[in-house]
Amino acid sequence: MIALRLRMVRLVAIAVVVLLFGFNSYKYPFERITKDANLRAYVEAQVHSGNARPLYAEHYEITMQCLHDAHVKPELAEAIGEKVSDIDLDNWHNASHYEAKNHCDRAIGVSSASAFENALTYHRERIAEAWNSLGFGDVENVVKILPRALHAEQDFFSHSNFVDLPTERQIALSRCWTAYGAKVGRGHHDTYREIEQDRACMGDATLSDSLLITGFDPKASDPYFPPGDTYPHRTFAKDSATYSKEAARLMPDGSTSRYLGARLAAVRACTATLNDFKRLCQMCPRCRGHVADMFQ
């Protein structure tokens, strides 16, 4: 029933003009689907057949890679991968569900440091919630909650100038997403309090002029290019290989494109997050007995 409802929601969303928030969730941007009748017919046929997997793109691929690397059970990995992608779909179909922090976007009038802190706080709250759920053996809720954290984390790398920063700054920023791992999980579930104690990395890595988060305004005539914004999503996001000129540009060392650099960084960071999540569960007496419910 859940899968059927998701397919129905996807089909409804195909018929409307929608927004794109982070790493691409689907291989075909919805702006193109609404204008290309042949493509729309193809997508609708895929949805009707229940074969939606070929439609998924970067978010799904990144998620499946990190879940595989962290040894999450395949049957759970598939559900988590779908839900990470379908967060964008839900926001497309229900504009009131959109919040900048869910996608590591920078709202107009908000600094990049604040935008990052909002997204990171949201991420850590979801990790704590998922961990608490696993402690009670509620794997179904873990599958529901964990994708929200992974989605925001992945979008950070495509919605920022992370790949342009010095190596030491990249390391500090990446650790922010997993810094709670060493301090949480001492046999109790007071996770949020302990997570909040480990915020020193934020002062180190974000409260500076070096970090930039792309601006996005859902109320603007072009949400991706807010008027007067100096670091707009349309120009600087790296959501796919061809999303923008910035995405296609080579990294400072010339090794690969900025898009691929952001994507590889997202895979590494999310894998580290999942490995930390597993370690937290192994350290906690209540969670320990349920680790095998999620991980191989």
- Cα–Cα dist 268/177, whole Å: 11
Query: Could you tell me the pLDDT band of residue 275, with boundaries at 50, 70 and 90?
Result: very high
Enumerate the domain spans of the chain.
2-294
In this predicted structure, the answer to whether residue 152 has a pLDDT above a threshold of 90 is yes
Res. 172: pLDDT tops 90: no
Distance of alpha carbon 44 from its chain centroid, rounded? 26
Q: What is the predicted pLDDT for the residue at 67? A: 96
State the SS3 of the chain.
CHHHHHHHHHHHHHCCCCCCCCCCCECCCHHHHHHCHHHHHHHHHHHHHCCCHHHECHHHHHHHHHHHHCCECHHHHHHHHHHHHHHHHHHHHCHHHCCHHHHCCECCCCCHHHHHHHHHHHHHHHHHHHHHHHHCCCHHHHHHHHHHHHHHHHHHHHCECHHHCCHHHHHHHHHHCCHHHHCCCCCCCCHHHHHHHCCHHHHHHCCCCCCCECECCCCCCCCCCCCCCCCEHHHHCCCCCCCCHHHHCECCCCCCEHHHHHHHHHHHHHHHHHHHHHHHHHHCHHHHCCHHHHEC
Q: pLDDT confidence of 42, banded at 50, 70, 90?
A: confident
Among 19-23, 38-42, 90-94, 112-116, top mean pLDDT goes to 112-116
User: Which pLDDT score, from 0 to 100, does residue 92 have?
Assistant: 64
Average pLDDT, the chain: 80
Mean pLDDT, rounded, for 68-85: 92
Instruction: Give the span between the Cα atoms of 73 and 237, in whole angstroms.
Output: 32
193 pLDDT above the threshold of 70:
no
Q: Is 137 left (phi over 0), alpha (psi -120 to 50) or beta?
A: left
- Residue 82 Cα distances to 24, 79, 175, angstroms: 13, 5, 26
User: Quick one: average pLDDT of 89-101?
Assistant: 75
Give the model's pLDDT for residue 25. Answer: 62
How many angstroms separate the Cα of 293 from the Cα of each of 131, 235, 281?
Answer: 13, 43, 11
pLDDT at 30: 57
Q: What is the pLDDT of residue 6?
A: 45
The proportion of the chain whose per-residue pLDDT surpasses 90, expressed as a percent, equals 45
Q: Output the pLDDT for position 17.
A: 35
Confidence of residue 23 (pLDDT cuts 50, 70, 90): low
pLDDT at 201 over 60: no
Distance between CA atoms of 275 and 273, rounded to whole angstroms?
Answer: 5
- Residue 47's nearest CA partner among 95, 77, 9 is 9
